[in-house]
Structures are given as structure tokens and as C-alpha cells.
């Protein structure tokens, strides 16, 4: 067993072993060695040496871009195998896993093309003998820490721009779902990443994540995960003034005005929240509905939620898989109990499935609560599971107030056929992404990230590259002459 990739070599970690579990039936998919403290040190030292004296940061951008394109080709070559692994590891359906691989491929291609076109800029100084240019350089050693809901996808949003910019990286995937991250490292090595440019260490947050964040030789931490962990990372990074980028999830409003098409909005309301069993940072977990549409919409969403077919992600008939772990299911059950105790009206789900074929897995029925308000914990906090809460509004002002009435600010949507209303509400929402008459799409070229407690920094788009770049101003006086500032 050798699952740590350090300085171009697969080595065995000294931190014991951990099982990777299939959430569908709790069977063991793989057993992997874990990094010990000395492995973390060796990985950072390799990345440091590769940054300070290795070829990668000095490789012309066109060659770095070519490597990223090769990775994209390899991802497509191995697409089926990667998608299957992601499904075994996370429980999501094979269709979703396949979409993830395509999206990851596109992210590598996007950053390859973007960095190839990034030649800095020349600034007009007004002085003919002075050349002033602004250039982008890599930041240094980047620790990339990822969660378990979109393991490969979220890693790609970090590793593609980090490498495109010329950084070296140490990856720490979630201990729950490390398999496709290992595969991506294999592909990066196959594509020709030089030793030390890409390293991966496995383990949990306490024994591997935390020492990485505190390490003196790490210059940047990019993290996606929970708010409490993000806060701890921000605090720890302060000691060495690291650059930090955080994506910490959301509690995302899906605002529906009464003039919208009923059947369409029911479909989208369901996929907004129940995609990947609700374990999506941008899940539309708060449905906020105009008074006159409220009762029919609640009834139809509840009816359709009851019909969602749970099952094995590998089965093409499955519409939704299990939660990722027993820990996550326990959390969801706790939220359901608190919602009932606080007076929310349960109209769908609220229980584990009865089907004995699903008994071993971490399944929970898609759940809908009506008559919710922002005083309830289930409305305020990110549940990260298949729970939809429905609130009622009267008038645009109240809709906006409710949608913004959260500590989070990652994403939200507005549904209406009145385009003036749509854009007024979109402008008023304090969320990093706003969809009008849609839910979920994102594209490599447009920034992704949150306001308020949803985090700091942006992934994707040009800003997603700048996160991994230092900006340097070079001033060249081509004709210096004595100025006699001080007397000769």
C-alpha cells in the first residue's frame, strides 16, 4: 500500500490505515495508508524545493498549459472508471459522476487557455524612458484541502488554476472520499508534472489538515468545507500570514413569484435541493414562495418528493443516492427532530426508507417542511442533506428580506416571468451566484464563491486564477540620470 505521493514517488504513509466505505451498503471499497506527521513535512519540503529551485514555476506558460490539456485528455480517456469510482466513494448516481468528470475536464482546459493568454500588462507612465509592466507570478506552496461531496470537482477548481499559475501543491482530500483525488494525482504525474510539483497526503483534519495549515513553508491555503473548519483555518493561517481562500457552503434561497410556470418550477425546486441528496453547497434548501402560489406548490413539491427513487448510484434507475456517511445521516435526523419541535409542518419524508434493499446504506427520504420561518434552526443552518423548508412571502420587499436573512451568501435563485422584477431581485440578493429561472448551472469562465459566512475569495473564472498569483510591478528606467535629491 503506497497512497502518499511525495516528490514524484508513491510511498507508504506512517499514520496507520483507514477504510473507504461505500455509502450505498457500508461495504469497504478500499483500505488506504494514512500520512503521519513526517509525511506531511516531507510533502511540504518537496513542494517547497520544487517551488524554490525546481522547473515547474520556471516552465513557460505555454508548456504548463499543454500539460493541463494533457490531463484533460487523460480524464476523458479514463472517464468511465473515474465516474464509477466517484459513485462508489460518494454514493451519487453514475450520471452525476460522469457530468463531474466532464466538468473537471472543462476546468483544466479553461485554465490552460486562460493562463496561456495571461501576459500581464504594460502601464503607460507618461515617460518615454520608463517601461512599467505588471506581471503575475505564482504564490508558492499551496495546500489544497477538499471535502467529500464533490471530491474530484472541487479539487479541480483548486489544482488546475494553482498549477496553471506555476505553484506547487500539497493536496489533502477528505478522509471520507479520497479515491478520485488519488486518481487525479496519477493522471497529473502521467501528464508529466515534475517531481515535487504535485503531492498528496491522506488523513483527517486533525492529523494532516491542521499541520498543513500551520506549516511555515506553506504560502496559501485553499479550503472548501464547513464554516467551523474554515474559521479554524483562518485563525491558524494568521500566524504565518498565509493567503487563504475559503468556500464554506450556504443556505440558499430559491424565490418563486406566482407568475412563473408551475410545472417547471416544481421540477427545478426538487432538483435544486435534492440533487446528490442535498449534499451540495449551493443546494436550494429554502423555497420562498409568493402567497397565492404557496399551497398548490407545497402540495405538488411534497407529492413529487415522495416519488423520488432512492437506490444504488450504479443503477441507472436510481434518482438519488444515500448520504455520504452515518455521521451525516445522524445530523439530518437531528435537524428533522428540531424542525418538528419548532413547529414546522412535515409534508414529505422525515424518515429512513422502508425498502430492505437500502437498509445497510446511509439513506434518508427526501423531506419537505412547510410553514417554516427564519427563527427555526432548520432554516438558519446548512443541513447538507435532503431537507427542503418552505416559507411564504407577500410582495417583493419581503421576498428579498427573507432571501437575504441568512448568515450565508453563496447562491440563490429567483423565478418570475417579469424580467424587471427578476433583475431587481437578482441585484438585491447578497449571494455570490444568482440564477434567474434556473438552478445549479455554473461554468468555468464565471466566478464561484460566497459573501458573508459563505467564505472569502472566488474559484473559477479569471479571479479563480488570480487567487494563485502574486502581482508584481516592474519599473524600468532606461535612462537614469543624477537627480541631486541630496547634495553631492
| Minimum distance from residue 411 beta carbon to ligand TXE (Å) | 11
Binding mask 369-398 for ligand TXE (x = CB under 6 A): -------------x-x--------------
The footprint of ligand TXE on residues 190-219 (CB under 6 A) is 204-205, 209-210, 213
Q: Which is nearer to ligand TXE, 167 or 282 (CB)?
A: 282
Q: Which of 86, 96, 142, 281 is catalytic?
A: 281
**Residue placing its CB nearer to ligand TXE in the complex, 233 or 270:** 233
Q: Which of 96, 175, 247, 459 is catalytic?
A: 247
- Minimum Å gap between C-beta 213 and ligand TXE is 5
Is 142 annotated in the active site? no
Q: Give the binding range for ligand TXE (CB under 6 A) out of 20-28, 49-57, 224-232, 480-488.
A: 224-232
Minimal distance, residue 410 CB to ligand TXE, in Å = 8
Strand partners, 11: 4
Stretch that binds ligand TXE, among 142-150, 264-272, 284-292, 357-365 (CB under 6 A): 142-150
180 belongs to the binding site for ligand TXE (CB under 6 A): no
| Closer residue to ligand TXE (CB): 229 or 318 | 229
Evaluated on CA atoms 65, 71, 73, 75, the torsion sign reads: negative
Site for ligand TXE in 77-106 (CB under 6 A): none
Is 290 a known active-site residue? Answer: no
- 239 to 278, contacts with ligand TXE by CB under 6 A? 247-249
| Min separation Cβ 232 and ligand TXE, Å | 5
Residue with smaller CB distance to ligand TXE, 225 or 284: 225
By CB under 6 A, residue 281 contacts ligand TXE: yes
Q: How far is the CB of 459 from ligand TXE (least distance, A)?
A: 11
Q: Does 145 bind ligand TXE (CB under 6 A)?
A: yes
Residues contributing to the site for ligand TXE (CB under 6 A): 145-149, 172, 174-175, 204-205, 209-210, 213, 224-226, 229, 232-233, 247-249, 281, 382, 384
Which residues form the catalytic set?
247, 281
Amino acid at each position: 500500500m503506497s497512497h502518499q505521493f511525495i516528490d514524484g514517488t508513491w510511498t507508504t504513509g506512517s499514520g496507520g490505515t483507514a477504510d473507504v466505505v461505500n455509502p450505498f451498503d457500508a461495504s469497504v471499497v478500499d483500505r488506504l495508508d494514512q500520512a503521519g506527521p513526517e509525511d506531511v513535512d516531507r510533502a511540504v519540503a518537496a513542494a517547497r524545493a520544487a517551488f524554490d529551485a525546481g522547473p515547474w514555476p520556471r516552465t513557460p506558460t505555454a508548456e504548463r498549459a499543454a500539460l493541463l490539456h494533457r490531463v484533460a485528455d487523460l480524464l476523458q480517456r479514463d472517464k468511465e472508471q473515474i465516474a464509477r469510482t466517484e459513485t462508489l466513494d460518494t454514493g451519487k448516481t453514475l450520471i452525476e459522476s460522469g457530468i463531474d468528470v466532464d466538468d473537471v475536464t472543462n476546468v483544466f482546459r479553461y485554465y490552460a487557455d486562460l493562463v496561456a493568454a495571461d501576459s500581464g500588462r504594460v502601464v503607460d507612465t507618461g515617460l518615454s524612458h520608463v517601461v512599467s509592466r505588471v506581471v503575475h507570478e505564482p504564490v508558492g506552496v499551496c495546500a489544497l484541502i477538499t471535502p467529500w461531496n464533490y471530491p474530484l470537482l472541487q479539487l479541480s477548481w483548486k489544482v488546475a488554476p494553482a498549477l496553471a499559475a506555476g505553484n506547487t501543491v500539497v493536496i489533502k482530500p477528505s478522509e471520507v472520499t479520497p479515491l478520485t483525488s488519488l486518481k487525479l494525482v496519477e493522471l497529473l504525474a502521467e501528464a508529466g508534472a515534475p517531481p515535487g510539483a504535485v503531492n498528496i497526503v491522506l488523513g483527517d483534519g486533525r492529523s494532516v489538515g491542521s499541520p498543513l495549515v500551520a506549516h511555515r513553508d506553506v504560502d496559501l491555503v485553499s479550503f472548501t468545507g464547513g464554516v467551523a473548519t474554515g474559521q479554524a483555518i483562518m485563525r491558524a493561517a494568521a500566524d504565518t500570514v498565509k493567503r487563504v481562500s475559503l468556500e464554506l457552503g450556504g443556505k440558499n434561497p430559491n424565490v418563486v413569484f406566482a407568475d412563473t410556470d408551475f410545472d417547471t418550477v416544481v421540477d427545478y425546486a426538487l432538483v435544486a435541493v435534492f440533487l446528490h441528496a442535498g449534499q451540495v453547497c449551493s443546494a436550494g434548501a429554502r423555497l420562498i414562495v409568493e402567497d397565492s402560489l404557496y399551497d398548490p406548490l407545497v402540495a405538488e413539491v411534497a407529492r413529487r418528493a415522495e416519488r423520488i427513487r432512492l437506490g444504488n448510484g450504479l443503477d441507472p434507475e436510481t434518482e438519488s443516492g444515500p448520504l455520504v456517511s452515518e455521521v451525516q445521516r445522524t445530523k439530518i435526523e437531528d435537524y428533522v427532530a428540531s424542525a418538528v419541535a419548532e413547529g414546522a409542518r412535515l409534508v414529505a419524508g422525515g424518515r429512513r426508507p422502508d425498502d430492505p434493499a437500502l437498509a445497510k446504506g446511509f439513506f434518508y427520504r427526501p423531506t419537505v417542511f412547510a410553514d417554516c420561518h427564519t427563527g427555526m434552526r432548520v432554516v438558519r443552518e446548512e443541513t447538507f442533506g435532503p431537507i427542503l423548508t418552505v416559507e411564504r412571502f407577500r410582495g417583493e420587499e419581503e421576498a428579498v428580506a427573507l432571501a437575504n436573512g441568512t448568515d450565508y451568501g453563496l447562491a440563490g435563485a429567483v423565478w418570475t416571468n417579469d424580467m424587471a422584477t427578476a433583475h431587481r431581485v437578482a441585484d438585491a440578493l447578497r449571494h455570490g451566484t444568482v440564477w434567474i429561472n434556473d438552478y445549479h448551472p455554473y461554468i468555468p469562465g464565471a466566478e464561484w464563491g460566497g459573501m458573508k459566512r459563505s467564505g472569502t475569495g472566488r474559484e473559477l473564472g479569471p479571479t479563480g486564477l488570480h487567487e494563485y498569483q502574486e502581482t508584481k510591478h516592474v519599473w524600468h528606467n532606461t535612462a537614469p540620470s543624477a537627480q541631486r535629491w541630496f547634495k553631492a
